[in-house]
Amino acid sequence: MEQQPQAKHLKDYQSPDYTITTLALDFQLEDSATIVTANTHFVRQNQAAEQVFLNGEHLTLLDLKINGQAYTDYQVNELGITLLNVPAEFDLEIQTQIDPQANFSGEGLYKSGDALCTQCEAEGFRRITYYLDRPDVLAKFSTKITADKTSYPFLLSNGNKVAHGELADNKHWVEWQDPFPKPCYLFALVAGDFDVLKDSYKTVSGRNVALEIFVDKGNLDRADYAMGALKRSMEWDEQRFGLEYDLDIYMIVAVDFFNMGAMENKGLNVFNSKFVLANSKTATDADYDGVEAVIGHEYFHNWTGNRITCRDWFQLSLKEGLTVFRDQEFSSDLGSRVVNRINNVKIMRNHQFAEDAGPMSHPIRPESVIEMNNFYTVTVYNKGSEVIRMIHTLLGEEKFQAGMKLYVSRFDGQAVTCEDFVKAMEDGSGVDLGQFRRWYSQSGTPLVTATDEYDQASQTYRLHLTQKTEATADQTEKQPQHIPLDIELVSEAGESILVGGAASQVLNFTQAEQTFEFTDVASKPVPALFRDFSAPVKYQYDYTDQQLAILIKTATNAFARWDAAHNLFNKYLITNVALVQQQQAIELPDFVIDAYRSLLLDETPDLALIAEILAFPSQSALWQLFEQVDVDAIAQARKAMLDTLAGALSDELLCLYLTNRSQSPYELTQQAVEKRNLSGICLSLYGRVATEHANELAKAHYEQSDNMTDTFAALSAANVAQLDCLAELMADFDSKWRHDGLVMDKWFALAATSPAPDCLEQVKALMEHPSFSIKNPNRTRSLIGSFVSANTALFHAIDGSGYAFLGDVLLQLNKINPQVASRLITPLIQFKRLDATRQALMVAQLQRLLAEPELAKDLYEKVTRGLDQIK
């Protein structure tokens, strides 16, 4: 690398010298030589400015005019063009040529299969034309698209269609206008030949909105669920937030080659096909949940992201954290709130806590960045959502909605900051959020330690809390956070102890050390701490086995019961890792086994909760329990504990499986989903010990399945236990579905997470499979991403083979799609808590990458941050 990429800093933000009020785009589409003409109106904002720099990359400049006259007073480099000696207000006409067919980055205008599509967030528009590519420049766009009618019968862009026509040489054109000013990152263009599902929605004020979903030919039967999810999203946003859609049409296009999940471009959402296409034959119940959540997320961006957008990219969580919170609430209101909450918390504990502790640690509002794409992270999105959720917890629904209404009315049509949002919440609710603002600027995961005492004579219970946030890679000094702690007190007899007439309350924990006192408590209580994960923290409390059993059986909050069950598992995992290290047999007392048995024998079982409890913590989640991670000991202890539990509970697991397995045609109801999920988990656990019988059950489960959920449950159970039927079932699935890459993604992911010792060699072989292409982000994530992030023990094999494999892949992707490469590298840079041998092997791969002379800045930033840990 000739010149090291330079970081940008939040503190250096300056408003633009010029802004743009209108942009008229004209696209003459050709696969390898698209001509883009941009007519832009500039207005000076800084009276001292006489020049303007426009971002532009991978462009061929054809022509440039100012106020209709040829203009030559400019300088061009690989990052853009500087216009010199420009007037206070002027019209710029600039013509460029681009090559979509040669663009594999997934940014700008590129080919996705037979279609042309765009992705402009965060900084992709500069690959289309020279422009002020920053989110605080809002302009009204009009877009005219001309293309071959046979190859591209559909020509789509933002806003409302205002004109269209036919031309000679089998060409046609369409013109779109977006009445709402927007930053260029929200621009979209799609051209192709699709099947279209059409519907409409009548808004709360009586306006009819046309709804259109565009999918590849032959996939129309897989678009109905997405259309239903869109209509549910529109209705929910009106009812819960009072927000109504504002254009005449809302379009969604599903494409196969896409770096992200989806993109909220105004009126024209471009989606990864994974989050649109679904029917019972091709999609699991979890896939349906994903479709609904992402459809909702992108729709909700219409107000929290589009009508109100970010001033700069450091404020990304302003739109993403808030919109993730909104989509989580949408999914919870329409589905199982406890299951959705547990799944959201798993992301935090499995991934975000690791990010906080790793070299890429950053606050939800980062202070500096080299490549903005690297900060589309679980911290910005998911921890950002938890910060919004804490505001909701502190304010309550009524005051939170008052704050939202003020935020929308105050900032509609503007590009604003996280501070603007918090201030609106304060002003709308009357609640002081002064200390709470630290969540936006301070990185790391606070550790809350709790101790307690009970005075029988005065019937007083005291809870003593301390909080500490360790130094992170980006910050050394930490201050106490405002932590809302939702607590329930349960008696040792299993009864909820009312405090102030309520079963639970939220404590405002704001100091480094703080004591809370509860009076009129008739007996010593068991505290259920951080119910519903009321703050993104780790916590320590010295629960006894008996106390955890009480919470598992009797806590009124379902999340608290799940949390107690996982705390019980984690407690013995820590003990058993030490025993494995000492080469001793693991311990799992009968009392612990009986605590889990009591759940399985409940006369009125909560199927969803039981399934979540039986989905025991992953290896990567268990890493968070240790300062120094022993990869092999954790894997061995976890396996031994699961084998022991499965053996002791085999009769109950088999009974639950037989009771809940599908006996009737597929239905997408909450009860049916819960039964399918529980039966699949029970079959997987049962296979650990009753291999021969489980082999028969798994094979029958697969052969009798009329839906992808049951089909894949059988495959998963066979994979986990390496049942004899696995090879036969995997081959059958391959033969049926190899024509459908989206379905094959599940198969690739399953193969990549096999516990078989030769899994890495299987993964390498599958890279030659006819359904696999490293140029397709979905295929790459499903096969390679699953191996490096979910097959923890084998990726971290002590011989370093997993690390060397990832290094090879990253060097290949560096030239094809650096954004995907940057997402895959994360497990390779989180090495600080591993043993010296593994650290050295991982560092060697990072040094190998750094030596690459043309290393993309996406990878450069993460590689150098990883290597900084050894300085």
Interaxial angle between packed helices 558-581 and 590-600, expressed in degrees from 0 to 180 and rounded to the nearest 10: 150
Close Cβ partners of 76 (under 8 Å, ≥ 6 residues apart): 61, 82
Close Cβ partners of 206 (under 8 Å, ≥ 6 residues apart): none
The whole-angstrom separation of Cα 545 and Cα 592 is: 7
298 flagged as catalytic? yes
Q: Count each helix (H run) and each strand (E run) in the chain, helices first.
A: 30, 32
Is 151 within 8 Å of 74 (Cβ atoms)? no
Q: Which of 75, 80, 3, 87 is nearest to 49 (CA)?
A: 87
Q: What letter represents residue 270's amino acid? A: V
Interaxial angle between packed helices 590-600 and 650-660, expressed in degrees from 0 to 180 and rounded to the nearest 10: 10
Alpha-carbon dihedral 554, 555, 559, 560, rounded to 10 degrees: -110
Q: How is residue 345 written in tokens? A: 């918390």
Q: Counting Cβ atoms within 10 Å, is residue 101 exposed (0-12), middle (13-18) or buried (19+)?
A: middle
Contacts 24+ apart (CB under 8 A), 281-284: 281/707, 281/708, 282/222, 282/708, 282/740, 282/742, 282/743, 283/222, 283/225, 283/708, 284/708, 284/709, 284/712, 284/746
| Longest CA pairwise span in the chain (Å) | 95
Q: Counting Cβ atoms within 10 Å, is residue 667 exposed (0-12), middle (13-18) or buried (19+)?
A: middle
Other CB atoms within 10 A of residue 270 CB? 26
Strand partners, 36: 27, 96
Cite the beta strand spans of 523-648 per DSSP E: 525-528, 538-540
What count of residues does the chain have?
871
Kindly report the CA angle at 144 between 142 and 146, in degrees rounded to 5?
170
Which member of 292, 298, 329, 674 is catalytic?
298
Interaxial angle between packed helices 631-648 and 590-600, expressed in degrees from 0 to 180 and rounded to the nearest 10: 60
Secondary structure letter of residue 221 according to DSSP: G
The whole-angstrom separation of Cα 860 and Cα 850 is: 7
Close Cβ partners of 670 (under 8 Å, ≥ 6 residues apart): 335, 336
What is the phi/psi pair of residue 606, to 5°? -90, 95
Q: How is residue 473 written in tokens? A: 């890679």
Kindly report the CA angle at 86 between 85 and 90, in degrees rounded to 5?
170
What is the phi/psi pair of residue 590, to 5°? -55, -35
Other CB atoms within 10 A of residue 66 CB? 19
Please report the DSSP string for 154-166 in residue order.
Answer: EEEESSEEEEEEE
Q: How is residue 494 written in tokens? A: 């299993």
Q: How is residue 311 written in tokens? A: 């001033």
Please report the DSSP string for 276-315 in residue order.
Answer: T---TTT--HHHHHHHHHHHHHHHHTTTBTTTBEESSGGG
CA distances from 137 to 134, 158, 268, 478 (A): 6, 17, 20, 35
What is the phi/psi pair of residue 744, to 5°? -65, -20
Secondary structure letter of residue 382 according to DSSP: I
Residues designated as active site: 298
